[in-house]
Structure 1
């Protein structure tokens, strides 16, 4: 069953969601099933670090947000479904999500406060495909955390270096601000966030 679906040229979201196993991480990219590689330790460290710091911030602000473990983001007009590294949901709007109860899937920008993707070897997906689809959905804020500086030079400059690209939706288009080294991250959703790019790259917990 797995091999048959992976070899299928195009798959609908309904076929994908009925098949997707719980034990492995898969995404649907414009009708193509993609098996996601197991993240390396540093990748997971950054996920844990960001989850903790963002959770602390929205609790401090008394916001009705939440960070799910395996929820999917589905662009309404595309046969795609993405599993972000960090997904901050606006929980009150989940009542309007028809796919939430059974599929743990959101399709509305109003349900999504922030999406974060941490770059691995297939950097083009984060910088090109997901940025385009998240923008079209109207997601207000999207981060690309490129802790190894893998992205193309047209995205992170030359020479390549670790970079966090914060995409903010303004008049229907993403405007990108980039942060490196000791630059403090400027987040539209969390304007008082005090982390620097290096603190995120190092992902060191305070004792």
Structure 2
């Protein structure tokens, strides 16, 4: 599919016009370059699905106007857009999202209550590139779910172990807090969330 578009850098609008709806893979645009993202499989998919179930339950209990779309692209700039594993959107903010109805694109960080990336082999992107970019557009909370414990030691320490990093926006910068094993995950976006890290790593299977 990528071979169908020109190799020169493209804009986010060109990317959205090109995006193949029937593809078995997902795609992101990074600094004008299209990157093919295999659809989540196995444990990655289980964890994302488990988080969606848990977050939807908390959303219902909190009675807040949030929802989790099946798919959406978060626009970072005119040449960059990501498709997170989980995105919690504030429904009242959709009036400020001109491309939502046509292309399921969110471009204002204020419209996102939480975004989640489940780490696979691309941990450098999730801990580095995406953390910086989500911070830059003002997404209030970002989770990095490293269920394999494969992130760099500078991110998750040594010895490496499965870790959930919660990034909370404070005065325009992310402050990081990490959760492992039996730690209860603390979320500013979802204070009523009753979930421990190892439940996430097991995708709820006891």
- Same fold per superposition (TM over 0.5): yes
User: 2:186 is paired with a residue of what secondary structure?
Assistant: coil
Q: Deviations over 1:44-88 (max 9, x none)?
A: 11011000000000111101001011111001x341111000000
Query: What is aligned with 2:2?
Result: 2
Q: 1:9 to 1:159 in 2, by over 3 A?
A: farther
Aligned to 1:38: 39
CA shift in 2, pair 1:53/1:174, >3 Å = same
Partner of 2:70: 69
Query: In the alignment, is the contact (CA less than 8 A) between 1:164 and 1:180 conserved in 2?
Result: yes
Q: Aligned equivalents of 1:67 and 1:205: distance in 2? A: 22
Equivalent position of 1:123 in the other structure: 123
Q: 1:18 is matched with which residue?
A: 17
Q: Indicate if the aligned counterparts of 1:49 and 1:205 stay in contact, CA closer than 8 A.
A: no
2:154 is paired with a residue whose SS is: helix
Aligned equivalents of 1:109, 1:37: Cα separation in 2: 25
Provide the TM-score with structure 1 as the length reference: 0.95
Gaps of at least 5 residues in structure 1 are: none
CA shift digits 1:10-48 (9 cap, x unpaired): 111111000011123101111110000232310011011
Number of residue pairs the alignment of both structures matches: 204
The runs of 4+ residues in structure 1 deviating greater than 3 Å are none
Please give the per-residue CA displacement for 1:75-104, whole angstroms capped at 9, x wherever unaligned. Answer: 1x3411110000000011001111111111
Aligned pairs for 1:163-178 within 5 A: 163-178=163-178
CA–CA separation in structure 2 for the residues paired with 1:202 and 1:110: 31
Secondary structure of 1:198's partner? helix
**CA distance in structure 1 between the aligned counterparts of 2:39 and 2:173, rounded to whole angstroms:** 32
1:81-135: per-residue Cα shift (whole Å, max 9, x none)?
1100000000110011111111110111121000000001011111111100100
Unaligned 5+ runs, structure 2 = none
State the TM-score, normalizing by the size of structure 2: 0.95
The CA distance in 2 between the partners of 1:180 and 1:205, in whole Å, is 17
Question: Does residue 160 of structure 2 align to residue 153 of structure 1?
Answer: no
RMSD: 1.3
1:190 equivalent in structure 2? 190
